[in-house]
Chains A and B, each alone.
Chain A
Amino acid sequence: MTEATAPSRTEPQGFSLSAIPLWGQFAAIIIFGVLLSLVWDGATRWPEAWVIPAAQWITDFIEWLKSEATIFGVEFKDITRGIGAALKAPVKWAEYLLYRGFKGIGLGPLPWVAVAAGVVIFAHWVGGVRLAILCGLTMIYLATFNLWKDSMKTMTIVIVAVPMAALLGITLGIWVTRSKTASRIFSPMFDLMQATPHMAYLAPVAALFAFGPVTALIATVIFAMPPMARCTILGLQTVSSDVIEAGQMSGCTKRQLLWKVALPSSKRTLMLGLNQVVMQTLAMVVIASIAGATGLGHKLLYSLQQLRLGVAIEQGVAISLIAIVLDRLTQAYAYKETDHFVAGKTFVQRHKHLLLFLGILVASYIAAEFFRWVKIPPSKFIWGSGDAKTVLFDAKLLARHMDQAIRDFNVVAFDYINPIRDWVTIWILLPVRDFFLWLPWPVFVGVIGLGAWRLGGMPVLLLCLALMFSFIVTGFWVETMKTTYLVLIAAALCVIIGVPLGIWAARSERVANIIMPICDTLQTFPSFIYLIPAIMLFRIGDFANIFAILPYATVPAIRYTYLGLKRIPPVTIEAGIANGATRMQRLFKVELPVALPEIMLGLNQTIMMALAMTAITALIGSTDLGQEVVRSISTQDFGRGILAGFFIAALGIIADRLIGSWAAERKRQLGVA
């Protein structure tokens, strides 16, 4: 194993370190670090006097940008405010269209009947009957659960943010593939943008670009754009050279080669990027409401504040459903086959969907003047009148039943769960936390550094060292260790739960059909909702924090295990069968080892998601980096918030580089790279 993980190319010539076995090197570092901490207190806690006040510098810098900075005589604040105002225009138009109406010309917003019919008709056009039914049911859900107007408010940000993030992502992606400089600047930036918890940049963005929907829009685009850029880069780089040559032979200009050859042939990867943009945008809905976006997110936080969990669940389901519908629609649109047999069809035949929609649109605008329920969905569904009235469906009542059910469950389950919670807290969580807090930083730096060097050589080592020292010298060591401890335990649990589920799904198509949609839902279902039941059952503490991280962070562990196992070439499996391996032997000796690099990438994503969740579990009550991020919003201490967010990202990037180097090397050895 030692030889397998230590690529020979990283061994410098004539260096005698390689004579010492790997465990010996680690042991030497640990012993050295511990001894150092015994003689020098500074090895346990970075000396106060040496702390670099970077947080204060950043806060001062942003205050200066806000109040004094000028570029060519124009105040910096006016520039950012100008950008903010420009971004406001598309949001305004979306608002007029979806829920405000065009007051100037006396035209109301789109009647809900028209919107719902439009979505269903579009779904039928791009994806056939099945997709139309999914969309229809979603529209009915939004209407009957009294969530229509808030959904439209949420959509105003979504329909502006998604195209903006997608276009920006594709543009930056193309630029990165063309220019080395751009690649050097943007690649690490994409890492940072994705790994920094969104809450960390809400306050500074709000301070610079006007508070309100625009802040929400910018924060959403920052968060949702990187996957698009990454997929564009990956797509363009993996276009097969045959295709490019064919393009060149047919005399394409450089521009034509990009737009007519390279981009279309990497459509699958691009669509994966778009899928992530949609999912991430909807995942931001609740956080965006902290910075002034109206709609489902704002209402959801209010419901949670009132402990109306049932209502919050209904609103959360609406967000997930919108995400799923948008995703399926964009995917179907991209894969829709062009109709090559237009000749011989009449105009009406060719455009029947569009004509039908226009008809409904006009009719509903007219009908909306006579029947209120055409304009906005009725809030109660009542059959009959007077004493014979029966309420057919009442979303509020359903929500109250859900509340009661959750409380009843809590009363019954608490006595069984609490001893487990206490046991785990006292015997596992607190000792592990104390261990991490005791750990002298030279040990941590040394162990990670050695690992980085053995796995990825000098560049990875230098990057990891720089990142680790960044939180040591700025005085964030304790908070960072608390986050490390929480995330490591959560990630371990995610693997223990997720990998077996992934294996199960890979073995049975039926299981996969159940698990995969659940994964989709978990990723977009607002994680804020898990917090409340977690607190009720487990009370404030790290047990609840970890529990709240699990649903979100387990998803990649399941997905990557499933995909890794599914992608094993059938030849490999047949070779196992031919050698007389039992089912179990095949799994443990053939399939899992081959899929391991993929599973490790899943672990990597799990760690990223768990890190992102620490900013949200901070709302339960914690004292780690996540808490620093959340607290900075109210204290307007931009520096501490940004730094804490950056350190969360740094932990993610360290894990990413270590695991990534290992997986790449392993893949090379397996010959599957």
Chain B
Amino acid sequence: MKNLLKGVALAALMMAPGAAMADVESDEPIIIVQNNWTSQLVLSYVVGKTLEGMGYTVEYAPSDSQLQFQAMADNDMDFQVEAWEGSMKSAFEKAAENGMLDAGTHSALTREEWWIPNYVLEKCPGAGHWQGLDRCAEMFATAETKPKGRFVGPPADWGKNYADRIGALEMNFEAINVGQAATLWAELQSAYDRKEPIVLFNWTPNFIESKFEGQFVDFPAPSAACNEVKEWGPNPNATGDCGAPHSGWLKKAASPRLPEEWPGAWAVLQRVDFDNADIAAAALLVDVDGMEPEEAAEAWMKENDHLVKSWVQ
């Protein structure tokens, strides 16, 4: 009985509110968007934990990668650390018109393009270049696309029309669009395990490069003229006969209330900057080392202490 009383007393003591927090503008939770791919999860934990270290209260809310931008414009969520030009440009820009804030661009450059696993090169040595790939088109055919090859394309709403490019370059391919990114990876995994030729949409940086060996297919380098001047490029009768830019942006986005309610956090977010190696390392901790995203964030912060300090200043 005496012990129990002691326990209760001790428990009551320990449950008392923690030491007073450091000075921050508001105790209200800052809501951080989380999507469903690795680097985003780890890096949003990294920024969240940094802010927590300064005394802010943060919360993580999952969201669809497209719905999130309008939600930020409406102040329902506060920031996103990874907004991709490739898949999110239109939703990002639309929400920016409605009040969502652009919190700056990372050093990391993104690229998205047709991609082949390396074993394809054994069967079709020229596949690293679009013309070489086109010569082996039949190797990639399926029952639905025969005799054309099948290009597994991105979800239709990502704003890329690969059917147009195939037409402009007069390639022997047919674009079959997936409904979500996971479908791309399931196709890749299945083909990879069986060493079956496949060409699909892929982008960098992501977790694929740490799990599968492969490379992008080279297309004529893009330029403004490509989309405007028919004579430009390999096909003198078509515009759009070129590849995608090699250096797309990766941005941060925030709600309009973030700078008003938590100016300190807003300043940190603006300073946050990842390069390709940072992002790959974050994904690697989870996808190869098997950590949980939250553990991986702590490990990443230990590795990159100087970087975290430079954001906080």
Q: Which of B9-17, B161-169, B299-307 contacts A (4 or more CB under 8 A)?
A: B9-17
Q: Which residues of A lie under 8 Å from residue B15 when comparing CB positions?
A: 106-108, 369
Among A305, A425, A636, which residue has its beta carbon within 8 angstroms of that of B182? A305
Known: A212-B61, A425-B144. A619 touches B74 (CB 8 A): no
Q: Which residues of B lie under 8 Å from residue A535 when comparing CB positions?
A: 183, 186-187, 190
Q: Which residues of A lie under 8 Å from residue B7 when comparing CB positions?
A: 366, 369-370
Known: A210-B74, A291-B64, A627-B156. A621 touches B177 (CB 8 A): yes
> What separation, in Å, do the CA atoms of A344 and B60 have in the docked complex?
54
Q: Which residues of A lie under 8 Å from residue B152 when comparing CB positions?
A: 540
Enumerate A192-223 residues with CB–CB distance to B below 8 Å. Answer: 202-203, 206-207, 210-212
> What separation, in Å, do the CA atoms of A426 and B146 have in the docked complex?
11
Produce 1/0 per residue, B203-246, CB < 8 A to A.
00001000000000000000000000000000000000000000
> What separation, in Å, do the CA atoms of A411 and B64 have in the docked complex?
32
> What separation, in Å, do the CA atoms of A305 and B157 have in the docked complex?
18
Q: Cβ of B182 and Cβ of A633 under 8 Å apart? A: no
Q: Which of B60, B67, B74 has the most CB of A within 10 A?
A: B67
Q: Cβ of B60 and Cβ of A305 under 8 Å apart? A: no
Q: Cβ of B67 and Cβ of A206 under 8 Å apart? A: yes
Q: Cβ of B38 and Cβ of A306 under 8 Å apart? A: yes
Q: Cβ of B91 and Cβ of A634 under 8 Å apart? A: yes
Nearest chain A residue, comparing its CB with the CB of B71: A211
Q: Cβ of B63 and Cβ of A211 under 8 Å apart? A: yes
Q: Cβ of A633 and Cβ of B207 under 8 Å apart? A: no
Produce 1/0 per residue, A87-101, CB < 8 A to B.
000000000000000
Q: Say yes or no for A577: interface residue by CB 8 A criterion.
A: no
Q: Cβ of B178 and Cβ of A365 under 8 Å apart? A: no
Interface of A is mostly: helix
Q: Cβ of B187 and Cβ of A539 under 8 Å apart? A: yes
Q: Say yes or no for B123: interface residue by CB 8 A criterion.
A: no
Enumerate B35-90 residues with CB–CB distance to A below 8 Å. Answer: 36-38, 41, 60-67, 70-71, 74, 76-77, 90
> What separation, in Å, do the CA atoms of A203 and B203 have in the docked complex?
27
Known: A621-B177, A633-B64. A292 touches B187 (CB 8 A): no
Known: A306-B38, A620-B178, A622-B179. A634 touches B186 (CB 8 A): no
Produce 1/0 per residue, A511-548, CB < 8 A to B.
00000000000000000000110011101110000000
Nearest chain A residue, comparing its CB with the CB of B188: A307
CB distance from B253 to the nearest CB of A (A): 14
Q: Say yes or no for B247: interface residue by CB 8 A criterion.
A: no
Among B14, B71, B94, B187, which residue has its beta carbon within 8 angstroms of that of A369? B14
Enumerate B175-199 residues with CB–CB distance to A below 8 Å. Answer: 176-183, 185-187, 189-190, 193-194
Q: Cβ of A421 and Cβ of B143 under 8 Å apart? A: yes
CB distance from B139 to the nearest CB of A (A): 15
Nearest chain A residue, comparing its CB with the CB of B142: A539
Q: Say yes or no for A618: interface residue by CB 8 A criterion.
A: yes
Among A536, A620, A630, A634, which residue has its beta carbon within 8 angstroms of that of B190? A536
Q: Cβ of A305 and Cβ of B37 under 8 Å apart? A: yes
Q: Say yes or no for B290: interface residue by CB 8 A criterion.
A: yes
Q: Say yes or no for B8: interface residue by CB 8 A criterion.
A: yes
Among A307, A541, A618, which residue has its beta carbon within 8 angstroms of that of B144? A541
Q: Which residues of A lie under 8 Å from residue B71 when comparing CB positions?
A: 206, 211-212, 292
Q: Say yes or no for A2: interface residue by CB 8 A criterion.
A: no
Among A298, A536, A634, which residue has its beta carbon within 8 angstroms of that of B66? A634
Q: Cβ of A291 and Cβ of B67 under 8 Å apart? A: yes
Nearest chain B residue, comparing its CB with the CB of A430: B144
Q: Say yes or no for A422: interface residue by CB 8 A criterion.
A: yes
Q: Say yes or no for B287: interface residue by CB 8 A criterion.
A: yes
Known: A291-B67, A306-B38, A426-B143. A211 touches B17 (CB 8 A): no
Q: Cβ of B10 and Cβ of A302 under 8 Å apart? A: no
Q: Which residues of B lie under 8 Å from residue A210 when comparing CB positions?
A: 74, 76
Q: Cβ of B157 and Cβ of A539 under 8 Å apart? A: no
Q: Which residues of A lie under 8 Å from residue B172 when comparing CB positions?
A: none
Q: Cβ of A631 and Cβ of B10 under 8 Å apart? A: no
> What separation, in Å, do the CA atoms of A620 and B286 have in the docked complex?
25
CB distance from B42 to the nearest CB of A (A): 12
Q: Cβ of B77 and Cβ of A414 under 8 Å apart? A: no
Q: Cβ of A302 and Cβ of B178 under 8 Å apart? A: no
Q: Cβ of A307 and Cβ of B76 under 8 Å apart? A: no
Among A306, A407, A540, A620, which residue has its beta carbon within 8 angstroms of that of B207? A306
Known: A410-B193, A422-B143. A619 touches B182 (CB 8 A): yes
Q: Cβ of A298 and Cβ of B157 under 8 Å apart? A: no
Q: List 13 A-B contacts (CB under 8 A).
A: A212-B76, A290-B64, A301-B36, A306-B38, A366-B4, A407-B189, A407-B193, A531-B182, A535-B187, A539-B142, A618-B179, A620-B183, A627-B156
Closest 10 CB pairs of A and B: A634-B66, A211-B71, A211-B76, A422-B143, A619-B179, A298-B62, A536-B190, A535-B186, A106-B15, A302-B36
Given A369-B14, A396-B290, 13 extra CB contacts under 8 A: A294-B62, A304-B182, A306-B38, A306-B286, A306-B287, A369-B11, A422-B143, A430-B144, A535-B187, A620-B183, A621-B155, A631-B157, A635-B91
